[in-house]
Amino acid sequence: MTRESVSIVSVLRQPCCPLNLLCLHSVLFQPVPVLTTQRPPEFWCNIAYFELDQQVGELFKVPSQYSRVTVDGYTDPSSPNRFCLGQLSNVHRSEQSEKSRLYIGKGVELDNVGEGDVWIRCLSEFSVFVQSYYLDREAGRRPGDAVHKIYPGAYIKVFDIRQCHEQMKLLAHSAQLAAEHQAAVVVGSIPSPTANAPPISPLMSQLPPGPSQTNAIQSNQNAMGGGGGNSGGGAGAGSGAGGLSPLATADVGVDDLRRLCMLRLSFVKGWGPDYPRRSIKETPCWIEIQLHRPLQLLDEVLQGMPLNDRKPTRHFFPYFSQPTNCPAPRLPPNQPTPRRP
């Protein structure tokens, strides 16, 4: 039990008097510091609709003035806070998608609460299935491991912006340590590229699964296994890319971090270990919700990284690449060519 909870219990156990009520109010209603001073985005989210692996229609952008948006199976084409999937046509629509769309009905409501938390209410007569890294963490699961079933009438929190922000900052700090370690290896202040290297696997476990993490972990495991047990490759194990594998294979991109700011929801049909569909892209009709406020926070975190010259656009972790033959810079006329040191 935390100190805060103990103080609340102690106040509640005291006789009811104005002073105790004032203390309880001060404990429960302490001002929460804002995460950013940036103005809220013009749209608090955009929603894309998919049938199997194909996007259908354009992005639906929800203005920030509407804290609630409904996604349903009806046909209103003009409501600013109601995304009606029934009015979207698809010449390649499968029979499976056609049947599933009939059961969307009143669909779901998404509520933008506070500075960016998201709650979902299932209005449909059938359950919906959600990929939520907040719910994964609440359930003690690795991000992306579980698919969460939301029953009709349920109202549940699926995204916590403060938790997401803390995760972003933690990963940014870890990436900074990895970059500093690599810089130290380059200048030679660390004799071995693997000496005191920041751990990679714990960082991977805090990100939702993506192609880059899968490839990075697999490459890292292969490199580590090949360097220790293969006597035939012993000559090259201590030099070149093999020795740099724990950092060189940390191929985590901004796209991977952007998945922290995303929700996915399937109507009617589930996916995952308990279903014949392994991926949400095998479900007949589903939506992807990109949240804009956490993207603002992610941009702040990336812009605040100290190594501005090593700040990634494609890869969050800098890595060692092979030197390329870059053309020499053009000089003004009558200027001597600089000599190489």
- pLDDT one-digit tens code per residue, 16-63: 455 455 554 554 556 677 888 889 999 999 999 999 999 999 999 999
* 289 within a domain of the structure (yes/no): yes
Q: Can you say whether the dihedral through the CA atoms of 139, 142, 143, 146 is positive or negative?
A: negative
pLDDT score of 324: 40
Higher local confidence (pLDDT), 122 or 26: 122
CATH number at residue 113: 2.60.200.10
Q: What's this model's pTM, rounded to 2 decimal places?
A: 0.69
Closest CA to 86 of 66, 100, 69: 100
User: Could you give the C-alpha distances from 96 to 87, 229, 283, 285, in angstroms and in order?
Assistant: 18, 50, 9, 9
* 187 within a domain of the structure (yes/no): no
Percent of the chain with pLDDT over 90: 47
Mean of all residue pLDDT scores within the chain: 75
Highest mean pLDDT among 205-219, 254-268, 295-309: 254-268
Domain span holding position 48: 43-160+261-296
Contact yes or no for 264/34 (Cβ under 8 A): no
Highest mean pLDDT among 117-131, 132-146, 216-230: 117-131
The model's confidence at residue 233, banded by pLDDT at 50, 70 and 90, is: very low
Residue 139 has pLDDT above 50, yes or no: yes
Rg (CA), the chain: 26
Mean pLDDT in residue range 101-121: 97
Mean pLDDT in residue range 275-282: 95
- Distance CA(68)–CA(170), nearest Å, equals 30
* 271 within a domain of the structure (yes/no): yes
* 311 within a domain of the structure (yes/no): no
Between 37-46, 128-137, 328-337, the lowest mean confidence (pLDDT) is in 328-337
* 127 within a domain of the structure (yes/no): yes
The model's confidence at residue 242, banded by pLDDT at 50, 70 and 90, is: very low
The pLDDT tens digits of the residues spanning 176-191 come to: 777 777 777 777 766 6
Q: Which long-range contacts (CB under 8 A, 24 or more apart) does 160-163 make?
A: 160/117, 160/134, 161/35, 161/114, 161/115, 161/116, 161/117, 161/293, 161/294, 161/297, 162/35, 162/115, 163/134, 163/137
Three-class secondary structure of residue 117 per DSSP = strand
* 67 within a domain of the structure (yes/no): yes
Residue 265 has pLDDT above 50, yes or no: yes
**Structural domains of the chain, count:** 1
Higher local confidence (pLDDT), 109 or 226: 109
* 155 within a domain of the structure (yes/no): yes
* 87 within a domain of the structure (yes/no): yes
- Distance CA(81)–CA(138), nearest Å, equals 29
pLDDT score of 157: 98
Higher local confidence (pLDDT), 89 or 203: 89
pLDDT score of 174: 78
Residue 107 has pLDDT above 60, yes or no: yes
